[in-house]
Amino acid sequence: MRGYVDTRWGQLHYSSTGAGNRTIVLFHETPLSHGAYQRLAPELAESFRVIVFDTPGYGESDPPQGITTIEEYAATFLEGIDALGVDRFTVLGAHTGADFAVELAANGAHDRVDGVVLIGVPFYEEQVRRARVPAVVPAFRDDGQHLLESFNRPPKIYDAELLSRMAGSVCEFPDRAFWAYHSVYAYLPGEALPKISAPVLFLSHEQDPLYDGDCMGLKIVSDGRQVMVPSERLPLYWTQPARVAEQVRSLLGEG
């Protein structure tokens, strides 16, 4: 099922599948949409109700008025979660989505989150965070070279289909394709992660560009563990959905 809920920024698009007693909410990385989880969601739906939102400004969700913060994104997601009548829930996020999950579990819905699954936390040291400049959208060209430039953005280890989707999203929303990255570079997960009381599972791969963030996060959460998931290609939620789902069920005692 797909639908929309009203939030401070307009309509928030979501997909929902499964009908378990527990709910897991998935947050995608930038610049993708809910379709990034089309392989993982059915695996999880065997045990849980699965809700996947399009980040505001991506997919079919209305955008914020401009560049904003992880905290504001999280508050908007919580409006959507409340509108769907969800009380307690687990969060799963990859890359940008990991920051959304962290913020909800640490602050926005601290007493309602019963589990946290993170795949590549954007956890940068201060000097790196200050130096990072979000990518810019290549200028459109008659020969289509801009498509190749978008496709060739890192990480190179990503599956070609998902890289193609990223390139398509960049070209579809050239004015705001990288807005969410600005919020990532301003966010401090090191301050939020220690506040999480729910169990935290880091699903990691050494070639994930944000692998170091998982390792740093593991050191400061109160109840965390890390599982290395083997794979020739990334991201794990796309190339290893069954293994990811198995680990989520294990975390929540459903496996």
Q: Does the pLDDT at position 7 exceed 70?
A: yes
Whether pTM exceeds 0.85: yes
Instruction: Provide the pLDDT for residue 138.
Output: 84
Whether the ω angle into residue 241 lies within 30 degrees of 0, i.e. cis, is no
Task: Tell me what the mean pLDDT of segment 12-16 comes to.
Answer: 98
Instruction: Provide the pLDDT for residue 179.
Output: 95
Quick one: 127 exposed, middle or buried, by C-beta within 10 A (0-12, 13-18, 19+)?
A: exposed
For residue 132, name the pLDDT band (cuts at 50, 70, 90).
confident
Contact 91, 27 (CB under 8 A): yes
Instruction: Provide the pLDDT for residue 156.
Output: 87
